[in-house]
Structure 1
Amino acid sequence: MILPIVAYGSQVLREVSQDITPDYPGLQTLIDNMWETMYASSGVGLAAPQINKPIRLFVIDSEQIINNLEEDEVNAYPGDLGIKQVFINARIVDTEGEEWPYQEGCLSIPKIREDVYRPEKVTIRYVDENFKEHEKTFHGITARVIFHEYDHIEGKLFIDYLKPLKKRLLKSRLDDISKGKIKVDYKMTFAK
């Protein structure tokens, strides 16, 4: 089932999410719905707060990015083949490498894309949908998507990394999003 995406301005996007246990009600259905919602919205990642669930759960499919690189971009992320993965109760263990810019966007903040600087690598501890524990290091565009979705479960948004002047310049557009004065080709819910 395709779920509505929560728009900028909704309180749930600013909450630090809670851990869940294997007996979380309807977990597999929720994960399936998140995948379906993410793909229907043309996203590469989706965090539970974006569907109004303040829990530490996100899904990413960075294979989509890697598989659709232009010919001149093929060598941009050496060794990064992309992943399709569920992350539950994730915690960042370490970051390393130079910070690099990439124009990020967000399904909860439609029609705004801005350069955000993030480190090259992230080491993250998490459990998968079977609650099997993992600790892995990711780099390149996959690390970027993980950082972005991880921020959602920490109550942060990519616009929080922008300089104050840039945020002021975006204020009216952000206000329009929070008031529902935008059109997107996927279901959204707006702050009341």
Structure 2
Amino acid sequence: MALLPIIVAPDPRLNKKAKPVAEVDARVRKLMGDMLETMYLAPGIGLAAPQVGVLERVIVLDLAHEGEEPRPLRMANPELLWVSDEDAVYNEGCLSVPEHYADVTRPAKIKVRYLDENNKEVELEAEGLLATCIQHEMDHLDGILFIDHLTALKRNIILRKLLKAKKAAPQPARDHAL
């Protein structure tokens, strides 16, 4: 397993649409494992491949509480089959939008189809926090961040703060060519 660097907004790579994987093979399983390790150490409850610079339709989630046995979900090529008319509001955050949270309204219940880590097609009905997390991570696959669901004013305030924090952060040393 390897830790992967998490891309932080604003970054144009987070706005790109990811491509489907042909199959869940050893390479994709390794990516899923690396993503889970990265997510657990961040710490977070979900991570999408574009957040670690891989433009493939792969997401991982784990809603287990601290001290509980991990219950990771690994999804490739997830697609929504159905969403409820009923909405739910959750205060969302994101590893690519650190230290910022906002209420986001999404369908309360969903049905999703995906390939699991064994390349088997699975259909899953989800509600509550799990439904919200799946939709949040699926948004990343289409280049959408949770802040894109906010008003332009709120989104721009958060983006300005993130840009200011990026500029203030120490830059890694670079070797110079002669």
TM tier, smaller: 0.7 to 0.9
Aligned to 1:94: 82
Once residues 95 and 182 of structure 1 are traced to their aligned partners in structure 2, the CA distance between those partners, rounded to angstroms, is 41
Q: Secondary structure at the match of 1:32?
A: helix
**Are 1:181 and 2:168 counterparts?**
yes
Specify the alignment match of 1:126 in structure 2: 114
1:1-192 equivalences in 2 (<5 Å): 1-22=2-23, 26-64=27-65, 84-177=72-165, 179-181=166-168
- Secondary structure of the 1:124 match is strand
Distance change >3 Å, CA 36–CA 85, structure 1 → 2:
same
Runs of 4+ in 1 over 3 A off after TM superposition: 179-183
Q: Contact 1:44/1:64 (CA < 8 Å) preserved in 2?
A: no
Find the residue that maps to 2:56 and give its secondary structure: coil
- What amino acid is the match of 1:29? K
Q: Which has the higher contact order (CA 8 A, sep 6+)?
A: 1
Query: In 2, distance between residues paired with 1:102 and 1:138?
Result: 15
Q: Distance in 1 between matches of 2:135 and 2:15?
A: 16
Aligned residues: 167
Mark the runs of 5 or more structure 2 residues left unpaired by the alignment: 171-178
Question: 1: distance between equivalents of 2:21 and 2:85?
Answer: 31
Mapped partners of 1:148, 1:108: distance in 2: 12
Deviation at 1:182, TM superposition (A): 5.2
1:136, CA displacement in angstroms? 1.7
Contact kept? 2:77, 2:115, Cα under 8 Å: yes
C-alpha distance after superposition, 1:120-150 (max 9, x if no partner): 1111111101110012210011001101101
Question: What CA distance in whole angstroms lies between the structure 2 residues aligned with 1:180 and 1:93?
Answer: 41
How far, CA to CA, are the matches of 2:64 and 2:76 in structure 1? Answer: 19
Inter-partner Cα distance in structure 2 for 1:36 and 1:54: 19
Q: How far off its partner does 1:22 sit?
A: 2.6
Moved more, 84-93 or 165-174: 165-174
**Identity percentage of aligned residues:** 35
TM-score (norm 2): 0.85
Q: Deviations over 1:142-184 (max 9, x none)?
A: 001101101011110000010123223334213225x35359x
